[in-house]
Chains A and B, each alone.
Chain A
Amino acid sequence: MSSTSDAQIISLFHARDQKALSETQQKYGGLCHSIAKNILGSREDAEECLNDALYKLWETIPPAKPNNLAAYLSVTVRNLACNRRAAAKAAKRGGGELDVALSELENVLASPEQPDAVLDTRALSDAMNRFLGGLEAETRVMFVLRYWGDLTIKEIAEKCGAGQSKVKMTLLRTRNDLKAFLEEEGLR
């Protein structure tokens, strides 16, 4: 990982120094590539998506001075990947890790009897935020990396310095807790 600090990288962007891109990629490219790859199901597409995200950073910084470069980049990558996936509408399920993650969570978020019912997505987001707020930090991180970042179990285990079995068990318990929480909230 690059030893260059975020502040230094952002300074490079502001100085229009293209080294900013290589430093950003070196520092955060791995995680973001995983996010994109798991959404798009293709390493090549992920590569392009990451490049697009870096270009977007180049366009927006300056004037933007992101407080958290990693989050800024990863949100950008994810948005681009989601857009790309939707646009291609190849949405061939079974392609990426997103599908696996979705399949894990869909029975939690939606009633099995009405899997295709129109959901109040905003209410569900709000509820999920409240639910996440009550979790231990590590549990919350695993959950977000899995269902927001679409990382694989292995990738999460590496990032969290935990075993894969622990990640699986944590996610399973958290899904069950979330299901109960949503039922209490009247959202499923």
Chain B
Amino acid sequence: MREQDYMKIMNGLREDYISEAVNWDGTAQKNRRSIRRLSLGVGAIAAAMAVVVGGIGYGIYRDRLTANPQQENSEITIEKLNILGGHGELHGYLTTSGDCFFRDNTYFYGGEAKWAIDGSTPLLHTEDANLPELLTDGEQIYTQHDGNVYITDSYGEETLAFSLGQMNNAKRIQKLANGDYFALGFTTVAASELPADGVPMPHTEGGFSALNGVLYHTETGESDVILSIHDLTDSNSSFSQNLQNFWMHQFGDSKDGWYYWDSDHDNKDDLYHSVEYLYFNDDESNEDIGFKGLDFQPEEITGFAVHNDTLWFERLTKSANENGESRTFTELYTMQRGDAEPVKNYRGDYDFAANVPENDYPCYSYFGERYLYGVMQKQTDAGLVFQVTRHAYDAFDGDQTVFEMPVSELFGDQIPNRLERPEYMAFCDTEDYLFFPLPQKGANGELIIQVNLKNGTWFSLGENTVPQMQGEADITDQTDAVSPELLFRDASLESGYCSPEQFPQYYIPAEHTAADTDKIECYRMLPFAKASESALDTAALGEHLPDGGAWSKRDPDAPRMTFEDAFRLITGGSVVNGTEIMEQLCKLSAGYDAEAHLDRPEISDREFWLDDSGKDFFYVMLYSHPESPQDYYFAEFYYFTYDEAQKQYRYVFLPARSAEQVSGKQPDGTNFLGGTGTVHPYSGSADGVLFAEDDAYYYDLQSGMRALKNGENPALVFEPLPERVLNRYYWGTASCRLMSDGQFFYMYMHDSALYRINNDGEEQYLMCPDELYGKAETIDSEQIRFDCLHLMDDDKLFVLGISSVSDEKATLYVPFVVDLKTNVVTVLDNPDLPEEALYNYWDSSWYAGDCIYSLTDDGRTLEVCRPEGSPSYLDLANDAGVELGNNTRWYIDADKRLWFEQNGDSYFVELDVFSDQYLVPQKSPDANAAEVAGLLNGSKKVVSMHRENNQTSVYVRNPDGSDAQMMAGTGDVNALAFYNDNGVYHFAVRTADDFAEEVAFITHDGISVSADGVKYP
């Protein structure tokens, strides 16, 4: 066998098999349940919690794991590339000039270019990429070859749409409402086939090309030539408009005027009859058309559209101003069927013409499917600006400015004296983004502007520069529009049809057919209400609800909750806690929801109906504390919809914290606090102290404040953090606890999981409380919180878990380690220890090397826990009488030296605990009146405060006991925090007197010291 043959065969293996193999992790496969849990996200976390409370929740979780086994590998499967070589489904869009654009998960494609939707690439040429030529009508995507037009899916699977017949090549295709197709394209007619009654001129030897508009009847396979325009060599011939429901064409000289094609109608006869000439320069038009003749010359009309039987058009005209100078104006008109005259359209602020004449900067209208767009240069107080506005045809309450920029800034020295009509301008509106080419190249090579319509951010695209995001982003409104159907197509979400095992309350037995839909005896809200009781007989419903259940009737005047609102709230809103999401849903639904309790008081269900049929609703399952039903642990969210074809409900599980949609990841390149550069957290000497800094700001996160570093020294003043940051991390509530290990910030979501916040805001899932269950006997069903994080090395995080229990019991501490690479949790616990001997002090555990040192509650015994094997113990209270009392701060440095305050005497001793050997403690020489503040990360040094005569100094103490003063005596220090960045020490010292609080941020590089003082407002 030839080697090259072998190579070829192997090169033909499917990519997903290769991906599966190279990503295979045998160790991980052995712990498949963990992987599943990770891939399923917090939804699984919530479900896994059900292991504790038992019952239906666990059943759902188990079913979810087994329902779709291939989902296990979803993380390691290479996605099939779409027909344009990208990832994800393709969607087609038409611009206002009828050009076709496409998008997938990553790129916009059009012409011979593409660019990343998120602005991560410049404008890229694709002419060498040998991509297929595609057409779209905004809904379907078409290819054409072999004389046929095909509908293609995103991956090139084609279905015949129609045969082109004589047409050589379709330029525009549109599926009409009745299923027929209309296409515009060129047909070459041989000279021999020319009609005898006249040869259109000019023509070529071989014949001539005609532009045909052809209606293709899909049922019969026949076609009708609607338009046949032969005189195509005239330079005035051009396509003018091509809208989703409207085709028109300008051709030839002025006598031919405009054709239009209105495909709003379902009846093909109407369609056919609506194809008529529309003359603007005389009154010969057919009255059936409804738009009678106008006095304008056709060349004055620069564009028009028909929307809801109203003709919109723009007229470009010239007149002289008071100085006799010729000026150009644009005027916007509307005309309804039957109107004798068009009406100059000044609706709301959409008054381009009024803004134009004086400065002779015409503005132009571009007519899209749902919006018309205005482009103008406008004189403002800030100077001349280039402005783009958007205006809905049906909304007359003013236009929306979607882009505005000083002309000088945009175009530099090449400021156009006046904006010539940018004939090639066009707008592509995808509802979430709008992009358009500039009328001339920008000062920095900008060619295209892309605006995020959700939050107003935008960037410009050139050929050689990576775009920079501009504008103010609102992170709370980042959720892209998503439809229910898209949800069900999302492979990352668990979805399916109801089964008796999964959702018996929504399962409809198969024997029920469409014929007896009204007799269906399936139930909603568990066995409480028949699904067919769509009239919402709340009185009857109430009879079915057990104690504690309730049905809230909706205020008939209250606005209906929409799918988008509910979806955004659950998966992408600023609310980050499941039970709070549920409460927000209650508000959003205006009280229109049902609640029922099952036989287990800790589980309840709620439905939020989107319409009165009950076929479309959001479902929330709530788990609460067994002893305190009003305190919910967590919530699971599902969207349900009735599938008419399958006669069954479909559901999709909605993770309440979808990583993509809820992540605090910043869209504009800033870090997660809204500043720039790396965020450096300070380790604090007191609980809750969270100072941080980056290149731009100092932060006091406990207070939700920041101060710009380059402010006017020395008067830096804190200001509130941006709302989006405050909302994101929920300061001041129990819903989110932000912690730091001295290098990273971590976020613990109440009822949920522990995340590490990366600098850009990406939230890296680490673990959830349920992963502790079963790993230590001391952990029972009580809720676990996390505290006291220490990064042991680059890939291990020590965490102290705290089990909240009833008042009678001592707080339970569970030290454990999370491997940051594998997310494997190792609990450092000794089941042999009596519960009372466990850790009940804050800061009572510390790590050094591979060991965790924990103090028992008598303060006399140090437990040394290792990842493997039994713990050992050090008795501290022997000859030296070392006793670490309640709230004593103590640390073990990297050399396994124990640093602590001697009880009541405030001095240091050293204790070598290397290899668990106990040595006689030595009093540190300058330890009087000192207070241990903590270890300086990445060093072997301890930070301490010395208090004398109401003055506090800050020292860094070396392993040998010597120290260096970092800050001279100052007033009453109420917080000290610090970090080490490659040998440069940073301190934040908060002091207060009777009048004000201030933080000194001190930088000490061993030689020089610099400081900024920041005052609180």
Contacts and interface: CB of A to CB of B under 8 A. Distances in A.
A144 B13 contact: yes
A121 B5 contact: yes
B2 interface: yes
Contacts of B9: 109, 119, 121, 124-125, 128
Nearest to A124: B9
Contact of A110 (B1, B12, B762, B764): B1
A114 to B, nearest CB: 10
B73 A137 contact: yes
B14 A132 contact: yes
Contacts of B7: 82, 86
Q: How large is the interface on B (under 10, 10 to 19, 20 to 34, 35 or more residues)?
A: 35 or more
Contact of A129 (B8, B17, B26): B17
A98 B78 CA distance: 25
A119 B3 CA distance: 11
Interface string A157-188: 00111100000000000000000000000000
Contact of A71 (B18, B466, B794, B820): B18
A3 B821 contact: yes
A160 B24 contact: yes
Nearest to A111: B1
Contacts of A65: 87, 106, 116, 120
B223 to A, nearest CB: 39
Given A116-B1, A137-B73, A161 B30 contact: yes
Given A63-B121, A121-B12, A149 B6 contact: no
Nearest to B764: A5
B771 interface: no
A7 B762 contact: yes
Nearest to A125: B12
Interface string B762-792: 1010000000000000000000000000000
Interface in B444-474: 466
Contacts of A68: 19, 23, 76-78
Contacts of A91: 3
Contacts of A121: 5, 8-9, 12
Contacts of B4: 86
Nearest to B73: A137
Contacts of B564: none
For A91, A93, A122, A144, which residue has the most chain B Cβ atoms within 10 angstroms? A144
Interface residues of A, number: 54
B794 to A, nearest CB: 7
Contact of B78 (A3, A63, A71): A71
A76 to B, nearest CB: 11
Contacts of B794: 3
Interface string B61-92: 00000000000010011110000000100000
A141 B12 contact: no
B795 A67 contact: no
B143 to A, nearest CB: 23
B31 to A, nearest CB: 10
Contact of B22 (A7, A31, A109, A129): A31
Contacts of A63: 116, 121, 124
B20 interface: yes
Nearest to A106: B1
For B11, B76, B760, which residue has the most chain A Cβ atoms within 10 angstroms? B11
A75 B18 contact: yes
A129 B22 CA distance: 16
Interface in A50-78: 62-63, 65, 67-68, 70-71, 74-75
Contacts of A82: 7, 11
B188 interface: no
B26 A70 contact: no
A125 B20 CA distance: 17
Interface string B519-547: 00000000000000000000000000000
A140 B19 CA distance: 11
A128 B8 CA distance: 12
A110 B2 CA distance: 10
For B7, B10, B15, which residue has the most chain A Cβ atoms within 10 angstroms? B10
Contacts of A106: 1, 6
A58 B760 CA distance: 22
B191 interface: no
Contacts of B124: 63
B21 interface: yes
B951 interface: no
Contacts of B14: 129, 132
A125 B8 contact: yes
Nearest to B81: A67
A149 B29 contact: no
Interface in B315-362: none
A128 B12 contact: yes
Contacts of A140: 17, 20-21
Contacts of B24: 138, 141, 145, 159-160
Contacts of B87: 65, 67
A88 interface: no
A33 B779 CA distance: 45
A158 B445 CA distance: 53
A116 B26 contact: no
For B18, B73, B758, which residue has the most chain A Cβ atoms within 10 angstroms? B18
Interface string B803-824: 0000000000000000011000
B126 to A, nearest CB: 10
B27 interface: yes
A39 to B, nearest CB: 9
Interface string B713-733: 000000000000000000000
Interface string A111-123: 0000110110110
Contacts of A102: 1, 3, 6
Interface string B732-745: 00000000000000
For B14, B21, B758, B762, which residue has the most chain A Cβ atoms within 10 angstroms? B21
Given A3-B794, A106-B6, A132-B13, A144 B20 contact: yes
B492 to A, nearest CB: 13
A84 interface: no
B18 A129 contact: no
Contact of A3 (B25, B29, B79, B795): B795
Contacts of B13: 125, 128-129, 132, 144, 148
A156 to B, nearest CB: 9
B896 to A, nearest CB: 25
Contact of B20 (A1, A75, A105, A141): A141
Contacts of A122: 8, 12
Contacts of B78: 67-68, 71
B18 A144 contact: yes
For B6, B19, B27, B760, which residue has the most chain A Cβ atoms within 10 angstroms? B6
Contact of A161 (B1, B20, B27, B466): B27
Nearest to B14: A129
A35 B762 CA distance: 33
A92 B77 CA distance: 35
Nearest to A10: B120
A22 interface: no
A28 B73 CA distance: 19
Given A116-B2, A128-B13, A160-B24, A14 B120 contact: yes
B6 A74 contact: no
Contacts of A119: 1-2, 5, 9
Given A109-B9, A128-B12, A62 B21 contact: no
14 contacts: A3-B821, A14-B466, A63-B116, A63-B121, A68-B19, A106-B6, A125-B13, A129-B12, A129-B13, A132-B14, A140-B20, A149-B21, A159-B24, A161-B27
Given A63-B121, A132-B14, 18 more contacts: A8-B758, A14-B120, A70-B19, A70-B23, A71-B22, A71-B23, A74-B22, A75-B15, A75-B18, A79-B11, A102-B3, A110-B1, A125-B8, A144-B21, A145-B22, A148-B18, A149-B21, A161-B27
- Pairs A-B, 8 closest by C-beta atoms: A125-B12, A161-B26, A106-B1, A71-B19, A144-B21, A121-B8, A160-B26, A63-B121
